[in-house]
């Protein structure tokens, strides 16, 4: 994709670092045309490691937040700690947070309380909310609508796998929709039909690495260098060229994550 930079808007480089080849992971991403990466916080107890990675590589930014799986042990009841940590220059988003009723590793009440604290932090800082939603579409829509009525905040539904109801509600409040490798899976036809109805100017692309490697790497450890495969499927679904898709999703990322700085010389679309 000459001249068309991609962004991995959601990956977990701290998990990939466990292989001992983080330099290689970042270099392979760069060589694949992935010029910016957002590495995501899942626990405040490990946030310093996430932050250190963002400080180490100029093309990497990070978030601060607590995954719904961790809400019982590390969930935030108030936004103050999130707001304080978000002052670091490398922090460009709040999350990931949200609701996961598939695994229910944490009680639903704890998940929702932490979700609302993250929303308050997003509203206060102006940084976009990074939302995880699994088997909790209706509840996620309810919380987002209730909180948005109390005050606007930007955000994205990451690794979108839900139905059209959550997509429509997210788009209604101005959120972006981010797609991971699942959109390339043979079994994901209903997801692809929903994606076709999402405006190009609201789409982001991600890996969620080390999880959910796209076809043709399904079943292998995912990494940011695989973003172009998911982007190619999205370009096909949106009936645009890979270059157009890359330019649009990259521009969308920097518009949403306004604190992140694009690499010098990067050509951003409208």
- DSSP, collapsed to helix, strand or coil, labels residue 247 as helix
140 in Cβ contact with 100 (< 8 Å): no
User: Known binding site for a divalent metal cation: residues?
Assistant: 10, 12, 96, 132, 158, 208
CATH architecture for segment(s) 6-256: Alpha-Beta Barrel (3.20)
User: Known binding site: residues?
Assistant: 10, 12, 96, 132, 158, 208
14 in Cβ contact with 39 (< 8 Å): yes
Handedness of CA 73, 78, 84, 87 (dihedral sign): positive
Predicted TM-score (pTM) of the model is: 0.96
Rounded to whole angstroms, how far apart are CA atoms 72 and 142? 21
Give the pair of three-digit tokens for residue 134.
Answer: 């699994």
* 270 residues of the chain, pLDDT tens digit each: 345 899 999 999 999 999 999 999 999 999 999 999 999 999 999 999 999 999 999 999 999 999 999 999 999 999 999 999 999 999 999 999 999 999 999 999 999 999 999 999 999 999 999 999 999 999 999 999 999 999 999 999 999 999 999 999 999 999 999 999 999 999 999 999 999 999 999 999 999 999 999 999 999 999 999 999 999 999 999 999 999 999 999 999 999 999 999 998 776 654
């Amino acid at each position: 994709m000459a001249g068309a930079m991609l962004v991995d808007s959601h990956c977990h480089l701290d998990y990939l670092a466990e292989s001992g080849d983080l330099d290689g992971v970042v270099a392979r991403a760069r060589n694949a045309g992935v010029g910016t990466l957002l590495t995501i916080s899942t626990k405040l107890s490990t946030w310093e490691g996430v932050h250190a990675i963002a400080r180490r590589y100029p093309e990497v930014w990070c978030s601060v937040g607590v995954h719904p799986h961790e809400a019982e042990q590390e969930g935030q009841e108030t936004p103050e700690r999130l707001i304080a940590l978000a002052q670091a220059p490398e922090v460009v988003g709040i999350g990931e947070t949200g609701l996961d009723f598939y695994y229910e590793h944490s009680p639903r009440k704890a998940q929702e309380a932490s979700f609302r604290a993250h929303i308050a932090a997003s509203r206060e800082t102006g940084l976009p909310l990074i939302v995880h939603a699994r088997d909790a579409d209706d509840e996620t829509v309810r919380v987002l609508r209730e909180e948005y009525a109390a005050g606007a905040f930007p955000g994205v539904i990451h690794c979108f796998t839900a139905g059209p109801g959550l997509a429509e509600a997210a788009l209604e409040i101005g959120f972006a929709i981010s797609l991971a490798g699942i959109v390339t899976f043979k079994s994901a036809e209903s997801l692809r039909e929903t994606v076709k109805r999402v405006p190009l100017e609201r789409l982001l692309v991600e890996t969620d690495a080390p999880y959910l490697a796209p076809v043709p790497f399904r079943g292998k450890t995912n990494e940011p260098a695989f973003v172009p495969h998911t982007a190619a499927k999205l370009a096909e679904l949106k009936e645009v060229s890979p270059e157009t898709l890359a330019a649009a999703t990259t521009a969308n990322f920097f518009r949403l994550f306004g604190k992140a700085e694009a690499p010098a010389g990067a050509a951003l679309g409208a």
